[in-house]
Amino acid sequence: MTSRTLTLARRLVLVAGLLVGPGLVATAAPAQAYTPSAATTAAFEARVIYQINVQRARYGRAKLAANWCPDKYAESWAAYLARSGRFYHRDMTVILSGCHAARAGENLARGYTTADRTVAAWMA
């Protein structure tokens, strides 16, 4: 797994259609932390949402849009997963309650280097 792949793997958490979260990656000695820029993260997130909406349109589903409330939960969860090395879904009742939402969903991914590949894997 490349450094870029590992970085993306650790920061890919999608909650209610939102991908966020920085990650750490081990690089050549000495090990250094890699934190993607806000612009890189925003571009990746925007592309994931775009690709998800392309797929949703194919099936006659409404578009998803970014929302700050689940976004903050996704950032926190992504950071936890990156720190702990774990990879599992969280309890959605936290988001439902905290965001006063009726529905919430989460997609996890790791090992994909682009937003397009990430969404393609979810749709496979």
pLDDT at 7: 46
Average pLDDT for residues 105-119, to the nearest whole number? 92
CA 121 to CA 106: how far, in whole Å?
14
What separation, in Å, do the N-terminal and C-terminal C-alpha atoms of the chain show?
Answer: 21
Average pLDDT for residues 71-100, to the nearest whole number? 95
- Overall domain count for the chain: 1
**What percent of the chain is predicted at pLDDT more than 70?**
73
pLDDT at 117: 97
What value does the CA radius of gyration of the chain take, rounded to a whole number of Å? Answer: 14
Q: Give the predicted TM-score (pTM) of the model.
A: 0.69
Average pLDDT for residues 106-116, to the nearest whole number? 91
- Tokens coding 4: 């870029």
Note down the domain range covering 46: 3-123
Average pLDDT for residues 62-81, to the nearest whole number? 93
CA 63 to CA 119: how far, in whole Å?
15
